[in-house]
A and B are shown apart, each in its own frame.
Chain A
């Protein structure tokens, strides 16, 4: 930001010197976000004691989270530090929903906390009081205060890729580990999602993620691998399914799907033939139909069209 104001290229500078020592035009500068400044005005108004009476010991006051994703009520919620995830997501947020927006009582899978480069929290963290120190302990961060709730239908590898793509695009391109590293992390995730990965991919993801995290020049790079590292930590099983079983349990990873028609179930009604955009399905009336894997683009239209769920694997 300082560089941009000075009319320079928006790239981070090595620290020290910190902005408070030498910032805008070489002068000591403090940079704060709006929320901090809003708190400052309140502290000045009500006094530090009143402010500190809310929240936890090390994280006093309140925090505004941007709650979104598979929850009934999305939006900004301001809660005292120390409020549990359960309270925010299941109570204030009104509970987890399915893709159609209906409440899904047992649907909770995870939340992504702290923005695109934050970490994931799972069921085991539902009763964790959200505060700086407690989040740090589980490898997550308050960050920008984003809270994205995800239901059981969410593929965690795809989610990691989604956030990775974002941070990769945000890289300023200055330092090697962030510029090239985020790009390669993305490529490795693509390998997992598209069925090209092997055991080495997993190891490389972890090593590269660590290198980018430790070695990057600025905060963006240092936190960029978080989505990968934290999903690897809590949802390793899902990665392994993708890699070794070539299977995505949620069916989101198209490349891993192999739709087929169950010959026993199929009644040969032909509804799927009409639905298929690529003409991949053939079959005589009243006899089991067949999908040509070469032509199939894995769109799932046949499965939706088939009333008796004879199309499987998609």
Chain B
């Protein structure tokens, strides 16, 4: 102990030094006493709601350890009979208002409520059940909300607003009717949730869980008519072991491959291969933007949580987002384009399963643009946790498995692809490529320590070929917002910005085994850098199978075919679902779409009269079969309201006469067209 820390207090009679801890709880834990808590999370604000952390402070009575600042000389007791009784009562009270269905609950294996009840020796709940069942919310592609299991600790709420800066969920109602839910009780799938799943990763119970696709995958591998291939993401290899008692960060790649083969997948590939491909495409895109005056800074686009975030909150920055698909998506589209011919099967019989640390990837796989004619490039996404379930349910003894190797060619990868799994990894991988490309010289020193670290917002300046590259690495969407706002304001100094939604990057993804603390994340990150070290190749451009892939199949880097398969487009998602109200509908395929904005601004400027006029005109001139009239709620063109969209065209400062004239003109010229509903998208450029 150094001199500066002479201040001490006692905890259960033992002297403990105060070394900058913010609250008694941290000190108690430092003294090796695992005080139970539901609502304390070292990376979130103190909430003080669960009342489990109560301690007795001599002379002051009982108070919450999480919200009591340490003071020298305090005498703290953590387990008096009175405190034990209060803790038991608190847990019993929760259980009395809980759907106690542990055997069938997906959190059973690591539920904190269940284990706390055991720890406290609760044999019987003395209170009667006051639980009122409410329906589950299964609307999200990534998560299931089960309010019947919620203990209202608020961890999810604070995670979503404090770390992710979104606030998709919050408390509603008062007293014992309190619930955590999206605004206005909407389903989670229809609000601004970006599917990052971080709320679920801090949830102590089964109230927020990952939407499992395990059953569908079981069905798929049992179907002999299908060829089922599987890709595993970099971060999975340093996380899965934790479900089988191994230490965080321990690399289990070979055993994962063996387990997947055991489970019956036909081919086992590595997403790191596609990550190498991403490096080449994204690196090339970046160098082009840099040297040819393209839109800068460029944001990375491999995190679907961040992509949806940008689409929702910064649609004006969509041109800054790299057009590269994520490695998962590149992998899916590439193999579904290449393999059917090679294997002489039909595309529909080739199925791709992805094992990801990520819940947002489930959403990404369902994006219509990530598929061909409705057939998705990636059929199912399983998280690390779901794979662990499959392995356990098949009875495979993971820890004693003999390691096996990936299938070729998509199982071949370099260290650059592996470090994609941690924050800073994409940046470093791209630098390893770009530096060599820009200078034309072989890069010997491949480690870019400047971009490593665990701070949520890191900057680095790197000189390549005499020109300075200003870089930023961000994780956590609230940090991303700071950077994005600078870009929007034109004040950003950066050239390239890597954004990962999850703390620490994908190694801290919500699909990873739960209880993700800063320490766990550091170990997983270390594991990935170690994996990089252990490999022979560290630069994506050295991946021979990638070179071959371009030579034999893709053509030029960033060329037409590569663009078609490996890049994508984005859409503004400023508005949430259900934003328009149909007033006159027609079954007719080529009806003329008319949307009149009834947002506050346009309403004040008289849009209601426009709408009435259009509807009256439609009826009077017998256009019912040809018109589809809707009322919208703010098209974000308020300055030129009333806003009316006719056949995809924006009519500014519209009035009834103008609208009717345009409708008549189009109907007469048989020019309905346009599926555009008037919201800015980047397909037609309007």
Contact = CB atoms under 8 A, between A and B. Distances in A.
Interface of A: 9, 11, 13-16, 168-177, 179-184, 187, 200, 204, 207-208, 210-211, 214-217
Interface string B70-110: 00000000000010011001100110110000000000000
B178 interface: yes
B130 A183 contact: yes
Contacts, number: 106
A275 B66 CA distance: 62
Nearest to B170: A9
A173 B97 contact: no
Contacts of A200: 126
A172 B96 CA distance: 19
A238 to B, nearest CB: 23
Interface string B155-171: 00000000000000011
Nearest to A218: B48
A169 B174 CA distance: 8
Query: Main secondary structure on chain A at its contact with chain B?
Result: helix
A189 to B, nearest CB: 13
A171 B93 contact: no
Contact of B96 (A14, A16, A184): A184
19 contacts: A170-B175, A171-B174, A172-B175, A173-B173, A176-B90, A176-B151, A177-B86, A177-B90, A179-B178, A180-B93, A180-B94, A184-B128, A207-B85, A211-B86, A211-B90, A214-B62, A215-B62, A215-B86, A217-B49
Given A179-B152, A183-B130, A215 B90 contact: yes
Contacts of A168: 175-176
B604 to A, nearest CB: 25
Closest 4 CB pairs of A and B: A173-B178, A14-B67, A14-B48, A180-B93
B518 to A, nearest CB: 23
B177 A173 contact: yes
Given A173-B178, A176-B51, A217-B49, A14 B66 contact: yes
B130 A187 contact: yes
B89 A177 contact: yes
A176 B150 CA distance: 12
Contacts of B127: 184, 187, 204, 208
Contact of A180 (B64, B66, B154, B176): B176
Contacts of A176: 49-51, 90, 93-94, 151-152
B537 interface: no
A180 B176 CA distance: 6
B46 interface: yes
A170 B174 CA distance: 8
Contacts of B196: none
B329 interface: no
Contacts of A9: 170-171
A86 B66 CA distance: 46
B550 interface: no
Nearest to B48: A14
B466 interface: no
Contacts of B90: 176-177, 211, 215
B559 interface: no
Given A14-B64, A208-B89, A215-B86, A179 B51 contact: no
Nearest to A180: B93
Contact of A174 (B49, B85, B96): B49
Given A171-B176, A184-B96, A211-B85, 19 more contacts: A13-B48, A14-B47, A171-B175, A173-B152, A173-B171, A174-B178, A175-B49, A176-B50, A179-B178, A180-B93, A180-B94, A180-B96, A180-B97, A184-B127, A207-B89, A208-B89, A214-B86, A216-B51, A217-B48
A215 B62 CA distance: 7
B93 A177 contact: yes
Contacts of B178: 172-174, 179
B483 interface: no
A15 B176 contact: no
Most chain-A CB neighbours within 10 Å: which of B54, B62, B90, B177? B90
Interface residues of B, number: 38
A181 B174 contact: no
Contact of B174 (A15, A172, A183, A208): A172
Interface of B: 46-51, 54, 61-62, 64, 66-69, 82, 85-86, 89-90, 93-94, 96-97, 126-128, 130, 151-152, 154, 170-171, 173-178
Contacts of A171: 174-176
Contacts of A179: 152, 175-176, 178
Nearest to B94: A176
Given A14-B67, A16-B67, A214-B61, A173 B175 contact: yes
Contacts of A184: 93, 96, 127-128, 130
Contacts of A13: 48
B157 to A, nearest CB: 10
Nearest to A171: B175
A172 B47 CA distance: 14
B464 to A, nearest CB: 44
Contacts of A215: 51, 54, 62, 86, 89-90
A174 B149 CA distance: 16
Contacts of A169: 175
Nearest to B68: A16
Contacts of B67: 14-16
B406 to A, nearest CB: 49
Nearest to B61: A214
Most chain-A CB neighbours within 10 Å: which of B50, B51, B126, B151? B51
B543 to A, nearest CB: 52
Most chain-A CB neighbours within 10 Å: which of B48, B49, B50, B128? B49
Contacts of A16: 67-69
B126 A204 contact: yes
A217 B90 CA distance: 12
A144 to B, nearest CB: 20
Contacts of A217: 48-49, 51, 64
Contacts of B177: 173
Contact of A183 (B49, B66, B176): B176
Contacts of B46: 14
Given A183-B176, A207-B85, A177 B51 contact: yes
A215 to B, nearest CB: 5
A139 to B, nearest CB: 16
Nearest to B157: A9
Contact of B48 (A175, A180, A204, A210): A175
Contacts of B49: 174-176, 217
A173 B96 contact: no
Nearest to A10: B174
Nearest to A184: B127
B88 to A, nearest CB: 9
A302 to B, nearest CB: 34
Most chain-B CB neighbours within 10 Å: which of A179, A181, A182, A211? A211
B50 A187 contact: no
A36 B61 CA distance: 28
Nearest to B153: A176
A217 B62 CA distance: 11
A168 B130 CA distance: 14
Contacts of A210: 86
A184 B93 CA distance: 8
A127 to B, nearest CB: 31
A172 B130 CA distance: 18
Contacts of B170: 9
Contacts of B51: 175-177, 215-217
